[in-house]
Chains A and B, each alone.
Chain A
Amino acid sequence: MIFPKWTNWLPLALGLGAALAGGAVAAGVTIYLTPKYTRAGYQPVQPVPFSHQIHAGQLGLDCRYCHNGVEKSWFANIPGASTCMNCHNQVLKDDPRLKIVRDSAETGKPIAWVQIHKVPDYVYFNHEVHVRRGMGCDACHGRIDQMDEVRHDKSFSMSFCLDCHRDPAANIRPVDKVTTLGWQWSTNAAEAAQLQQTEGKKLVDHMRVESLQSCSACHR
């Protein structure tokens, strides 16, 4: 009689405890270590306090004025300092906040912007096809025109991409409205939702949107 009687339940208790603990860890990882929690909200400090709210929101600059490569290549480029100097050689000409930009435009030394939106190396996302085929910038990047500092708005998990790819009609808009952030089919919210469904489907059919879901679309 080495073991007291209550140890009879010990294996069961341990097993149950392990299962519960394991389940909790799994659940925790599944919920909290997904891009929705680890990526959304990422808002790093940038070397230059550039405010999209002022430039894209207040001043109404089109996204493509600076991010001009977005319609020609997979990569949406950050503009070179020379693009900034197009205006800032007159506006806020000597402002100390723009010193780095002025130096960069003059010497060619690049500004080390912190990359916020990045998909893994095994994903080959292409901006050109999305922007030219009716995906609004804010569908993935959120309301940049309201952000003083850009933050990672959506989760950018594979399910995020698939949600749209499985139902492009719910997100598509006319191609010329792609850079109008926050664009809706109508000012009335209910009507907008309704029109998104119907007009969206019309667009998808007319444009023969493939909205590929097989692996070869993104993974090469």
Chain B
Amino acid sequence: MKNNLNHSASPVTGRRYWRSLDELADTPEFKDWLHREFPVGASEMVEDGSSRRHFLKIMSASFALAGVATLGAGCRRPEEHLEPFGKQPENYTFGEAQYFATAMPTRTGAIPLVVKSYEGRPVKIEGNALFPGSNGSTDRYAQASILDLYDPDRARHFKHDGKEVTRDEALGFLAELSRKFAANSGEGLSFLAESSTSPSRARLQKIIAGKFPKSQWFTYDAVDSGIHQRAATLAFGQPVKPVFHFEKARVILSLDCDFLGGEDDANNHIRKFAAGRKAGEGMSRLYAVESLFTLTGASADHRLRVAAGEMLQVAGLVGDVGGAIAGENTKFISDWIAECKKDLAANPGNVLVVAGQRQPIEVHLLAYKLNSALGAIGKTITLVPVAENSGADLKQLDSGATDTLVILGGNPAYNLNWSAKARTVVRLGYYEDETADKAGWNFPATHYLETWGDAQTSDGTSVPIQPLIQPLFGGLMELEFLARLAGEAQAEAHEIVRATFGGADEAWKKFLFNGYLADSANAAVTAQFIAEKTPAVDRAAIVPSASSLEVVFYRDAKVDDGRYANNGWMQELPDPITKMTWDNAVLVSRKTAKELGVANGDLVEISLNGRSVKGPIWTQPGMADYSLGLALGYGRERAGRVGTGVGFNAYKIFNGKYIESGATIKRTGETYTLACTQHHWSMEGRPAVREANLEEFIKEPLFAQESFHGKEPPIVESLYPNPLDEAKKTALHQWGMTVDLNACVGCGTCVIACQSENNIPIVGKDQVIRGREMHWMRIDRYFTTDPKRKHNDSIFDPKSDANQADENQQFAEWIDDVQAVNQPMMCHHCETAPCESVCPVNATVHDQEGLNVMAYNRCIGTRYCSNNCPYKVRRFNYLDFNKRPLKDLNGASKFGVTYYPTTLTHSTGEGDKKEWDLLRWWKDSNSGMRTEDEWDLIKLSKNPDVTVRMRGVMEKCTYCTQRIEHAKISQKAKAGQTGNVRLMEAEGTVPKTACQQACPAGAIVFGDVSDPKSSVSGLKALPLNYSVLGDLLTRPRTTYLARVRNPNPAMPDYHAPFSTEEYESQSLTKKGNS
């Protein structure tokens, strides 16, 4: 939607209606018109009342037409206003974007960002490319966080015992508390906050500790990422935390460490890991040992699935400290570990052993021992000093010594099993959530995009948190809250951060401009592993069984620990591995499901340590047996319109340990429908993703074309010349893209970035079940297996795997041991696009620079283009998704049928403000079916450069045409009267698509394929380059770089990539045949 320029203080009337001719005659416009057109008649008209009627009778015909043509009513478009500033601010141009550097704080660090802002409101988050070592990327949480800023469910009022109070009253209460606790040295005062790296907050914490020496400060994290620091501190005897350098490691062993997915700081890990995965000699090798199927497992060259509780034994065996594997496959597992050990030993100094956040500290200590023995400390792991962790023991929280508990953010009532024992609970929170219900005083917090603050990234570099917009609802910044409580004279957050920074004004300005402080990273320290810290590995491995299951609690890939539950983009993002939306499930392996007698969708009750929770079963290929995977963060009771009641609450049986044993499952007999975006797991031997092992690639670099017989058929001279071939001769650029499957880990940041940039709406669970999710970009995730495990002897055999319905995949034995491959899929902008020739109204055409263009205003919704698209990347707006209210996202239900109300049948508003939507539409055609607060906020979040689509039009990836146009316009404006209008990558003028900019791995490269020196041309010339479904002669502009795996030939599970084996077993022309 374009900028609505109606920012008037006084209401704009829009259409002008007049009820009678007399009324029309009275308007100044009419008098004016009359004056201009009929000077004689005008004077007659104005003076004598009786002659007015006579005059009007004569003029009646032209009068009617005048009404039509002159006065803005009738056929002419309604009057709109332009309202400029009264006092024009300097250096501000309407329509030009402004960029500010800030940072998004995470648990153990921060992500440096540059945020794009239009007319004083942030619309898009990007990474800060200036930050040393950064490639300008972010992670999916940062991309989605902007929607939280415009969340209609965020807290807007100061409340005391549920009743609204004024800001002054609330601040007065803080001042009162401050005085009270200053008098008694803080006795009875406790703070509960989440981890933060903010130096300003740490400074205020010290001030508070000084002013209120008897107060206690508790830190908690529902998903504890601080274990890396605690383990390192213990292992090396000094307060340090590890920084992992995956790019320097040749061999990486992950002990249940999902560093590409669920770990904090994953975007940095992805970037570094991808740097080490360039196909060729020197490529790194990843061994993963895990129970769940994670993104790290998907990228691993060798994956061992064992129960998470056995990780200590595995670590012990690798480290020669003891341990024994119980259960099945002991021979295979010990061979696996033995060869892995050999490989590690063969690469001293270039190895990296990492233990996962959910593993107990013993596993971490063993990992450090291994790293130390293999010479990794100082090379692939650097240790940076941290401040001593002086927080109080969380167990003291409910001890009764607390009279006043101050909660900063977090949501302890939901994810900490906390109950309010203190007399007074004061909460600074972003939502009115479960904790807000239990707090006596509620202060609305600001979003980080509205906040002054600071943080430190994982390596200690200071970054500022700079607001891009005034607090939308008058919230209170955390630093200000703490300063007021501490009774500080200077309580303004901006001043506090400035004071923490110190330094000269010029240095401060540079800090804010750059978004980081140069050379502020903590220098690494050298340290020796303390051998005495090696844990004993003698406790017998807890081997789970069907009657005593292991439970693994993991940080959800979308809602984190529950904080993004009300974020529609996150709820609708398909989980990177399960591709599930809007729900969490109880993940089990096929064998476990079989023994328990459950199938996908069965609602079961899990009992653990005397508590229980119900959830639906989902069979996960490649998972360890007798292990249950439960995602934290769902089942919220007070999340807001989007997140309440979505999924089930795993915290109900969670006790702080991420790996538990001894759980039991009971079938309830009910079923539950899960919304999944990719139901089919197998590629069925088709060469969508092409892989080879490193040896094969070195022997035959053109494997992606030759081995797969995917050599594109020759371009035969066509009877009908392609107009693009003519245009290529004169056009300035030809846009193309490559996606490197070696680098892509499937994290999904690109999907959210695309949604943010292109105003893509969410559709709700019901529509996702019907396959109508609107993501322009999706990541296809395939599970591949040894073809010998599949039953595919004949396609005529009804029992053959290829002929099974998707619901029966969960029972197929082949899903036990699989590999996973990821493939981002978006519009390929085919040169001979099948979609273009079938549009009856020519709404989709090809422009001279190779883009397949979509003109929304021309589309009439036949959907023939989507029908013809072989990649199925076109998305259709079946409903007006933007105008549907959030609480009716899943439709209404009548007589068991789900239907979606339209303005004809829907009313909006509460109580006496409830109004029929058709009436609301008549008064204001923009009103939709949403309440004003929701509507206004959603409008703010939209990118003004991109059309907001309505019902009935087709949409798809546009190669971010708005960014291309912007770049071209800037270049042309700069060129002026010269001819220097071409965008050149060498000059840095070529735009980046949103997905390219967001990708932490740098997997997506976009650019000018007609420029032989551009990156994308270089990549397309690589032997790994191939096009998906190229044999259909679509001539796509988006091509892929085939994936190269690097398995160890000595390992017992060494084989060609399963997808290649599947292809060769299906292929009619097998390798070796002609």
Residues of chain A having any CB pair with chain B under 8 Å: 33, 38, 42, 44-45, 68-69, 71-75, 77-83, 104-115, 118, 120-122, 124, 126, 128-129, 132-134, 174-176, 203, 206-208, 210, 212, 214-217, 219-220
Contacts and interface: CB of A to CB of B under 8 A. Distances in A.
B86 A108 contact: yes
A219 B855 contact: yes
Nearest to B72: A44
A161 B851 CA distance: 22
Which are the 4 A-B pairs with shortest beta-carbon distances?
A73-B95, A80-B88, A214-B847, A110-B83
Contacts of B3: 75
| Highest count of chain B CB atoms <10 Å: which of A75, A79, A118, A174 | A75
Interface of A is mostly: loop
A219 B977 contact: no
B94 A214 contact: no
Given A133-B976, A216-B851, 11 more contacts: A44-B29, A45-B28, A77-B93, A82-B85, A82-B86, A110-B7, A111-B83, A118-B80, A215-B855, A219-B855, A220-B945
A79 B84 contact: yes
A105 B87 contact: yes
Contact of B81 (A74, A75, A115, A132): A115
B1 interface: yes
B947 interface: yes
A176 B732 CA distance: 25
A210 B732 contact: yes
B977 A113 contact: no
A220 B86 contact: no
A115 B14 CA distance: 12
26 contacts: A44-B79, A45-B32, A79-B88, A80-B87, A81-B85, A82-B85, A82-B88, A83-B88, A110-B7, A111-B83, A111-B86, A112-B10, A112-B82, A113-B81, A115-B80, A122-B856, A126-B965, A128-B969, A132-B973, A134-B977, A175-B976, A208-B732, A208-B981, A219-B855, A220-B945, A220-B961
B960 to A, nearest CB: 10
Question: Interface residues of B toward A: which range?
Answer: 35 or more
Nearest to B851: A216
A219 to B, nearest CB: 5
A171 B29 CA distance: 36
A121 B94 contact: no
Given A33-B75, A45-B32, A216 B847 contact: yes
A107 B86 contact: yes
Interface in B35-84: 72, 75-77, 79-84
B853 A214 contact: yes
B86 A105 contact: yes
A207 B977 contact: yes
Contact of A106 (B81, B86, B969): B86
B677 interface: no
Contact of B8 (A106, A110, A176): A110
A121 B2 contact: yes
| Highest count of chain A CB atoms <10 Å: which of B7, B82, B975 | B82
B678 to A, nearest CB: 29
A112 B962 CA distance: 30
A110 B75 contact: no
A108 to B, nearest CB: 4
B958 interface: yes
| Highest count of chain A CB atoms <10 Å: which of B75, B86, B969 | B86
Contacts of B982: 208
Given A110-B7, A110-B8, A122-B857, A80 B961 contact: no
Contacts of A71: 973
Contacts of B945: 124, 220
Contacts of B29: 44-45
Given A44-B72, A72-B96, A210-B732, A77 B84 contact: yes
Nearest to A203: B977
Contacts of A75: 3, 94-95
A78 to B, nearest CB: 5
B911 interface: no
Interface string B915-956: 000000000000000000000000000000111000000000
A210 B218 CA distance: 64
Interface string B415-458: 00000000000000000000000000000000000000000000
A207 B980 CA distance: 8
Given A108-B86, A110-B85, A220-B961, A133 B973 contact: yes
A214 to B, nearest CB: 4
Interface of B: 1-3, 5, 7-10, 12, 28-29, 32, 72, 75-77, 79-88, 93-96, 732, 845-849, 851, 853, 855-858, 945-947, 958, 961-962, 965, 969, 972-973, 975-979, 981-982
Nearest to A37: B69
Contacts of B855: 215, 219
A38 B70 CA distance: 10
Given A126-B969, A216-B965, A77 B853 contact: no
B64 to A, nearest CB: 15
A38 B93 contact: no
Contacts of B1: 121
Contacts of A110: 7-9, 83-86
Contacts of B965: 124, 126, 216-217, 220
Given A121-B947, A214-B853, A174 B977 contact: yes
B732 A215 contact: no
A6 to B, nearest CB: 35
A94 to B, nearest CB: 19
Given A121-B1, A133-B972, A219 B856 contact: yes
Contacts of A212: 847-848
A129 B972 CA distance: 6
A120 B75 CA distance: 15
A189 B79 CA distance: 39
A38 B83 contact: no
Nearest to B6: A112
A138 B2 CA distance: 25
Contacts of B87: 80-82, 105, 108
Contacts of B2: 121, 124
A19 B81 CA distance: 42
Nearest to B946: A220
Contacts of B12: 112
| Highest count of chain A CB atoms <10 Å: which of B7, B732, B965 | B965
Given A45-B32, A108-B87, A121-B1, A73 B853 contact: no
A134 B973 CA distance: 10
| Highest count of chain B CB atoms <10 Å: which of A82, A112, A115, A126 | A112
Contact of B979 (A33, A118, A207): A207
B96 A73 contact: yes
B961 A81 contact: no
B859 to A, nearest CB: 11
A155 B981 CA distance: 30
Contacts of B9: 109-110
A108 B8 CA distance: 11
Contacts of A118: 77, 80
A178 to B, nearest CB: 10
Contacts of A69: 93-96
Contacts of A220: 945-947, 958, 961-962, 965
A25 to B, nearest CB: 15
Given A82-B88, A107-B86, A206-B979, A216 B973 contact: no
B305 to A, nearest CB: 47
A112 B845 CA distance: 40
B771 to A, nearest CB: 26
Nearest to A74: B95
Contacts of A82: 85-88
Contacts of A77: 84, 93-95
B857 A219 contact: yes
Nearest to B29: A45
Given A73-B93, A128-B969, A114 B86 contact: no
B168 to A, nearest CB: 25
